[in-house]
A = this chain, B = another copy of it.
Amino acid sequence: MNYTLTQIPERTLKPRQSGLTMVMDKGLSLREVEDFLSVSAEHTDIIKLGWATSFVTPRLKEKLAIYREAGIPVYFGGTLFEAFVVRKQFDEYRKLLDKYEMAYAEVSDGSIDMNQDDKCEYIRKLATQVTVLSEVGSKDEAKIIPPYKWIQLMKAELEAGAWKVIGEAREGGTVGLFRSSGEVRQGLVEEILTQVPFESILWEAPQKEQQVWFVKLLGANVNLGNIAPHEVIPLETIRLGLRGDTFSHFLDKE
């Protein structure tokens, strides 16, 4: 920190189990990755190469090497896992993870239908190879999952070996946890937290209002994801009560 202020909430330190910031890289150049890391490496815990952007990204090995050098793990977006599974190419997906020396992977069913047992089986298999994040929630606005089902899915996927479960949003933040207006489904989040440990969930919250909402409800060290590279510094100030939106939240009340 560049100076000292009182009443700043304490942040967890790397390697974090809570207070994680997951950043989405949807096609940065190598130099843009360096620029990003020069500013935000300390505040970034894990990188997702958005959906299947890795399919068309040049110099992928070099990009992965830069992140590795910075000590920040990377994983392919869940849509890539689904693209292999829907084509019955799951074994090739496992080989792909090895080829690129990936230490993390995401299991999701945002764009395909998959029953719970099959999904947990994929988690179990991949967990023998990598650290698994599994995602709950559909990308389809029409598929509303009731709270009890979110809880049941999250618990089952953690038991199957997922390191974290991710609460699905879209890049724009409009389905899953969020109403089409972008508003958070508050009752859903609160009910989930009665049953699933706080630190086991990573909430996708690409929009500022959503980040503010989660920090106010769950504190500076909530796990948040799908953060755009240029929004990591702004998010860090939201976590610390140093942006207008959370300015008064961490101050001593008189």
Q: What is the minimal beta-carbon distance from A246 to any residue of chain B, in angstroms?
A: 10
Are B234 and A26 closer than 8 Å at their CB atoms? yes
Q: Given the complex, which residues of B lie within 8 Å of A131, measured CB to CB? A: none
Query: A3, A51, A79: which has the most chain B beta carbons within 10 Å?
Result: A3
B79 touches A5 (CB 8 A): no
- Most chain B C-beta atoms within 10 Å of own C-beta, residue among A5, A54, A96: A5
Q: A2-B54, A242-B52, A242-B79 are in contact. Are A28 and B39 (CB under 8 A)?
A: yes
In the complex, what distance in Å separates the CA atom of A86 from the CA atom of B7? 10
Q: How far is the CB of A190 from chain B (nearest CB, A)?
A: 25
Bound CA–CA A32/B229 (angstroms):
13
Q: Are A52 and B234 in contact (CB under 8 A)?
A: no
Residues of B within 8 A of A187 (CB): none
**How many copies of this chain are found per oligomer?**
3
Please name all residues of chain B whose beta carbon is closer than 8 Å to the beta carbon of A181 when the two chains form the complex: none
The answer, yes or no, to whether A87 is at the interface (CB within 8 Å) is: yes
Give residues of chain A (37-73) contacting chain B, Cβ–Cβ below 8 Å: 38-40, 42-43, 50-60
Cβ-defined contact, B251 with A86, below 8 A: yes
Say yes or no for A248: interface residue by CB 8 A criterion.
yes
Do B247 and A83 touch across chains, with their CB atoms under 8 A apart?
yes
Contact at B38–A236, with CB atoms within 8 Å? no
Q: Please name 28 pairs of A and B residues whose Cβ atoms are closer than 8 Å in the assembled complex, sorted by A.
A: A1-B55, A2-B55, A3-B92, A5-B55, A5-B83, A5-B84, A6-B87, A7-B87, A27-B40, A27-B232, A27-B234, A31-B31, A31-B35, A43-B56, A51-B242, A51-B243, A51-B244, A52-B237, A52-B240, A52-B242, A52-B243, A55-B237, A56-B236, A56-B237, A56-B240, A82-B247, A86-B251, A110-B244
